[in-house]
Structure 1
Amino acid sequence: MYIQFSRLIAISLVALSTLSACATSPTGRPQVLLFSAGDMSQLGAQSFAELKKQEKINLDENINQYVQCVAQAITSRLTPDPKFSKWEVVVFDSKQVNAFALPGGKIGVYQGLLDVASNQDQLATVIGHEIGHVIAQHGNERMSRSQLADAGLQLSNSVLSGNEYQGIAMAGLGLGVQYGILMPYGRTDESEADIIGLRLMAEAGFDPKQSVELWKNMAKASGGNQPPELLSTHPSHSTRIDELQKEIAKLPTTSVRRVNCKM
C-alpha cells in the first residue's frame, strides 16, 4: 500500500516538473515564471508603500546619504535596462539586521544592518545580493512554485479521494513538497543571488573579498542561532563563505574604480 501511495505522489510531482521552463536566470538556470514583469512590479510597489506606512523611516541625513551612495553605485551597473534604471532607497529606523529589494525598483535597508555590515563593501554585499534576487526574478519564481505546488497537492487529493489512507498520504506529500522542493529552491535562490550580487558589487568598484567578512560578521551576530541547512531556506554561513570564496577566485583581476561612500 505504501508503494502505491508513493507512486501516486511521484506522479503528481512529475506532472509539475513536466511543465516547460519559460525563462532562464542570469546564471543559466531554467525557470518557470507564471507572472508578468508588470504584475510583479506593481506588487513590489504596493508592498513597499505598505511597509513605509508600517515602519518608521530613518531621516538621518548622513546615514541616508551613505546608503544611497552604496545603492546607487550598484544600481548604476544595471543601466541602460529601463526596468532597472531608477530605484527608490529607504532606510528603516529598526534594529533588524536586514535589507531587501523588490520588483519595481525598491530597496529597503534596516539600520541594524549597519552595525553588522561594518564598511561600504560589506553593505554593498548585502544590497547587491538583494538586487540579485530582483534581477533573477526570484519573487516571481517563488510565487510560481507555490502555485504549482498547490496544484500538485490538489491533484493528489483528487487521485486519493475516498481512500482510507488519504490523510496520511496528503500529509506526507505536503511535507515532501515543503522540504523536497520549496526549501531547496530557496537555498538555490540565495546562492544565485550571492553570485549575482558579488559580480555587481565588484563591477561597481567595491572589494568582493569583503563579502566573506560580511558573512563572518553575520555568523557572529546570529550567535549560532541558525537552523540546520537542510531545514533552512538559506545556506549555512560556512557554506555561503565557501561558495563566495570560489566565486571571488573567478572574478576578473583587472582594476576597477573604487567607490568612496562615507557616513
Structure 2
Amino acid sequence: MSKQNQRTHVAGLPVWDRCAVMGVVNVTPDSFSDGGRWFDTTVAIKHGLDLVAEGADLVDVGGESTRPGATRVDEAEELRRVVPVVRGLASEGVVVSVDTMRASVAEQALAAGAALVNDVSGGLADPAMIPAVAAAGAPFVVMHWRGLLEGGNVKGVYEDVVSEVVDELHARVEAVLEGGIAPDRVIVDPGLGFSKDAEHDLALLARLDRLHGLGHPLLVAASRKRFLGRVLAGPEGTVPPARERDAATAAVSALAAHEGAWAVRVHEVRATADAVRVARAVEGARER
C-alpha cells in the first residue's frame, strides 16, 4: 500500500495531497507548552490566523489543558473560552477542529463553524459525545486514552505497548462506529504522552504501520511532548523546556508524514509545514 493510499481522505474535510498540518491554539492559562499566551479571545483568533499564514491546514482550538496533573475546568468556562475563538476563525474561512471532551462544547463549537471534533478521551469522558457527533455528521478523532491525568501519568503499564494500544483503539473505534459515526469520518490517534513514557511513545512512532492497520486516517500529536525532552536531554539529564522542542517536533512530523500519517498536530507550524512538504516531495520522486 502506498503512503498516499494510507493517508485516506476524511469525509467532510478538504483533501490534501500530503500529510496535513494541524496548528494548536490553546485558549488556556495553564498549557504545558505555551502557558496562557493565547488566553485572550482576540489574541487567540489572531494566533490561529498566524498559524494558517505559516502553513497550517487546519487549527485545533482547545479550552482545557490535558497536561498531567491539570484539573478540569467547568463547562461554562470551557464554552466561554472556546466558542468565540472557533466562531472567529471559522468566519475567516479556517478549517477548525475543536479539542474537547465535553459533548456540549463539541455541539456549540460545531454550530459555531468547527469542522472536526478532537476528543482526547475518544468519547469515554462524556457518554453524550458520540451521539452528539453522530447527529452532527462531523468527523471525529479517537485517541488512545486510559483516563484523566489529574493524578499524574496513570495506567502507563504495558507488556507490549504497540499491540495494546492498537487493540484498545480498535475496541474504541468499534464503539464509535456502533454509536453512529460514519467509518469515513473516523480518525485515530495513538495518544502519545497520555499514560505513556518516552519508551512507549518511541515504540509507537516506530510502528505507525500497525496503527494504519486499523483502517482509518492517522493523526500524530507529538508536539513538544515530554518524550522529546527525554530524547534531547543533555549529558546531565537536563530536559529542555517545551518551547525548545520544536525542531525535534518537526523531525517527528517528517517521519510521520513519510509513514503516511493523515495529519500532525503541532504548536509551531512553519518548520513542520516545511517538513511535510519535503516528505511529500521525496515520496513523489519515489513514485516517478
Range of TM-score over shorter length = under 0.3
Higher helix proportion (structure 1 or 2): 1
Higher strand proportion (structure 1 or 2): 2
Larger radius of gyration: 1
TM-score normalized by the length of structure 1: 0.28
